[in-house]
Structure 1
Amino acid sequence: MTSFAASDSLSNLTEFSVSELSGSIKRTVETAFDQVRVRGEISGYRGPHSSGHAYFSLKDDRARIDAVIWKGTFSRLRFRPEEGMEVIATGKVTTFPGSSKYQIVIESLEPAGAGALMALLEERRRKLAAEGLFDQDRKRRLPYLPRVIGVVTSPTGAVIRDILHRISDRFPVHVVLWPVKVQGEGSGDEVAAAIRGFNAVKSGDPMPRPDVLIVARGGGSLEDLWSFNDESVVRAAAESSIPLISAVGHETDWTLIDHAADIRAPTPTGAAEMAVPVKVDLDAQIAGLAARLSNIASRQMEFRRQSLRALVRALPSLDQLLALPRRRFDEASAGLGRGLERNTVIKRRSFEKASSGLRLDLLTGRLQQQRQLLNDRLIRADRCLERQLLGERGRIARSDASLKALPARLLGHVQRERQHVGSLSRQGDTAISHALSRGRAAIVAQDRVLQSLSYKNVLKRGFAVVRDEENRPLTRAAGIGEGRAISVEFADGRIAAITGSDPGSHEQPLVSPQPKKKPQKAEAAKAETPSDPPKQGSLF
C-alpha cells in the first residue's frame, strides 16, 4: 500500500507565498486604478499624525474606503481636511499587504461644490469667533503718520500700482512689498508667512519694520478669494503686533481675514487712503501751528529774559559765593600730608603689636592648653555617660518589677468585670420578659375592642349589608334605580340580586332573588381578606 506525504499535492495550480500573492494583488490594483477621483465624506479625521501623514476614511451612505495623505502632499493642500466635510479626492488606489486592506493615496483634495465651501466657511467662522480672534477689544488703532508701510500682495497685479499711486498722491512714505501668490495652491501659506515675516523684523535689520500692514487683493469669486479664508491666514492676522488693514476684493466681498484684521477697507485704494493722511492738508495745518508756536515762543522768551534779569540783580557775585568753599579746600589740603604720616605710624605700631604675638613657643603653648582642655572635657563626658547608664539600669529594674506584678492585678480586674457583666445580663433578660408581657396584654385588649366594633358581629344577629355593582354600601332606598345589580352580604356569605320595577307594591318584591349559587372560594377569601377595610352600611 503506497503512502503519500502530507505536502504532496495532486493539483497543478501554481503555488504562491503570502508575500507573492499580496504583491501581485497590489500591482494589479495600482495598475487598474492608477488615477481616480472619489467623492465622499471625511470620517475619522483626527489631524495629521506625529509623522506628518494624515489617515482617515471617505464614506457615503453604502460604502467606506480608507485614505491617506503623505506628509509632502499634506503641506501643499489648498484645503485642510475636516471631519464631516464632503470632498472630491484625486489619487491612486493601492493595498497594504501587512493587513490585506486597500486604500486611496490622495494627491489633491477639494470641497465638493460652492455649497460645501459656504458651509465650511461658516463653520470655520464660528470656530474662530468662539476662540475670540474676532473680538473688538483685540483690534488696534492705526498710526496717524506711519513711516513705513508693508504691503502683502501680488507684485504683478494692478493692486500694488493703485496702492503706490494713492500713497504717493496723499503722503509719500517708504513702502515695502512682500510678494505672494493671492490665488491658487499654497497662496494661503504664503500670505500667512508674509504677515509673520513682517512681524519678525526687528529694529536695526536691513529691512525696516513697517508701522502698518496692508493685505490686498482684487475682486473675484469665492474660490478665487478662498486663500484669505484659510485658518493660518486668519490666525496670522489676529496674532500680528503691527496694525493690519484688510483690503481683499470689492466692497461686497467678505473673507475671514476681514474679521480678524484691525480695520477693513472696501478696496485696496481705500486701504491706502486709510493708511496715510493728505500731505497738503498737513502742510497747511503745520504752517498754522508753526506760526502760532513762533509767536508764543517769542512772547515766552521775552518774559523769561525779563525774569532772568531780575534774578541776576538779586544774586551775589561769583567771588562771594566761592570764598568760603575755597578756604575750606585750602585748609583740607594743608592738613592732608600730616594726616597721612600719622595714619602710617599708627598702622605700623598695630602691625608690630600683632606680629609680636606670633612666636613658635607661644603657638605651641596654646596648642597644649587646648589639648589639655579637650582631654578634661572627654573625661567629664565619660563620667556623665556612666552616671546616665546607671540611672537607666535602675529605671529598667523598677519597670521589670512592675511588669511582673501586672498579671495578678489584671486577673482580679477581669474577674470583677465578668461578675458585673453577668449581673447586667440577668437584669436585661428580666426587663425583656416584662416588656414582652406588657406588649401581649396591650395587643389582646386592642383585639377585643376591634371585634366589638366589627360590623360582622351585627350580621350574625340577622342583619345584612347591601352594596352596588362597585361594591359601595347603599344607605338609602331612594338612590336605587330599577334593574340595577346589587349584592347582599349575610353573616354566612354574599348573594347577587336585581332591583324590581314597582317599589310601592307589596305583592311584587323590590328585589328579585337570583338562583342561589355556592360562593366560590375566591369570593369567600376576598370577603375575609383584611385588605378590605370594614365599612358601615345599611342594616335590613
Structure 2
Amino acid sequence: MEFPQETASAPRPITVKQLVYRLRDVVGIAVGTQWVVGELSNVKYHTSGHIYFTLKEQGAEIFCAFFKNAAARCPLRLQEGMKVHVLGNATVYPDRGQLQLVIKEVRAAGMGDLQARFLELKEKLQREGLFDAERKKAIPAFPRSIGIVTSPTGAVIQDMRHVLERRAPWVKAYLLPVRVQGSGAEREIAAAIRAWSHAPHNGLPPVDVLIVGRGGGSIEDLWNFNEEIVARAIHECTVPVISAVGHDTDFTIADFVADLRAPTPTAAAELATPDGPEWLRKLGRMEQALHASARHSLLHARLKLDVYLRGRLLDADSLLAPYAQRLDGMEESLLASSALRIQQNSLLINQLEHKLQLSHPRHLNRERAQQLSALQSRLLHAATVRMTAFSSSLALLQARLEAHSPEQTLSRGYALVENEERQLIRKTDQVHAGEKLKVRVFNGHFFVTADKHQ
C-alpha cells in the first residue's frame, strides 16, 4: 500500500483497522467498566447461550453483548421493556466499528418507560370497558370478503394470501395498505380501520371481517399498535376485527380491544376462514344423508298409507286419491327443498372440487395401473410355467403306469391262465389232468383242457 507523502499540514494516513483499534483503546481507557441504567429492547437469546440486546432511553441507545459465561449467572429473564442496571466494559467491536457494552452483570431497576405507558393505557381502557367480552362481536363462520390493514410489502401479506387461497379460494380479500411502524403510523392504521367501518359509502367494498396486524419486531416496532387512537378505532369499528400483531409472545393494546386475537398474521387468516377442503367433505356427507332421509320418509309414508288402506273396507280409489295427492305434494316439497339446498352448495362444491382436482395425483393411478398389469402378466406366466411342469409330470407318471399295466405285458405275447376258481396258475402242480382252464390274451380269452404235466 502506498501512502501520500507526509507533510506538516497532511499527516500520514492510517488504516481503518488502526483507527478502530485506537477508538477501542480510547473508549476502554476513558469509560472502562461502568454501571448504566436503561430500558431493554430487541432482546435476542442466541443458540450459543449469548444474549444480545439494545439498552436505550429517549434519544439514545447502545448495543450490548451478554456472553454465555456471564449470562449463566444472571437470575433474570430479560424481556422487552424491562428497566435494568447493567455493569459492562465499553468497547468498540472491530468487525463493524460498533460501539457496544460487554455486559458482566444485570440487575432489575423497575419498570421501563414504555412498559409503564403500556400498563397505564391498558388500565384506563379496561376501566372504560373496551376489553369487556360482551362488547366483542362474533367472527362470521363463512365470510364472503375480508379486509386487511397491514403493510403492502414483506412476507406477512404474502403468507396471508397463501393461506386464504388454500383454505377458502372463493373469499375475496381486499388490502388497505398502511405503514405499520414509525412516527404517525398509528394515525394511518386508525384511519384505515375507520374507513372499513364506513364502507361502501366511501367507495371501499364492504367486508365481513377485518384483519389488522403486522409481523414481529421489538417493542418499539410494535408500539403503534399500543396507541390509544388505534384501540378506539378498533372498538368503534362496525366490522368484527381480528388483531394479528407480531408473534405468539407479543401482546399489544390492539389485541385486548379486538374481537379476536390471533398469535400471528398467518393464524389470523386461518381463524377468519373455514377449511374449504374439510367443508367439501362435510357437504358430500350431508348430501348423501339428505338423499337417504328423503328415500326413507317416502317409503315410510307409502307403508303407512298401505296399512291404512288394508284396514278399511272402503273403495280403494276414493281413499287413495287424497293421500296420493298429499304424498305427491310432500314428495315435491321434499325434493324441491333438497334441490334448493344442493343448488346453494353446488357452486361452492364445484369451486372447491376444481381447486382440489388441479393437484389430484392422477399419475399415481397410472403407476398403480401399470404395476397391476405387470403383476397380472407375471401371474399368468407363472401359472403357465406351473401348468407345463404339472403336464410333464403327469405324462411321465402315465408312461410309467402304462409300462407296468397287465395289458402291456399281454400285448408282448404273454398270457394269463386261470382255473375254474379264478385262481391264477403260476406252477404246474396247480393244474390237474382234465381240468378246464381259461387263457386270457391281449385281445380276448379262450378255454383249454389240461392233459398232463411235463
TM-score, L = length of structure 1:
0.35
Larger radius of gyration: 1
Q: TM-score, normalised by structure 2?
A: 0.42
Structure with higher strand content:
2
Where relative contact order (Cα < 8 A, 6+ residues apart) is larger, the structure is: 2
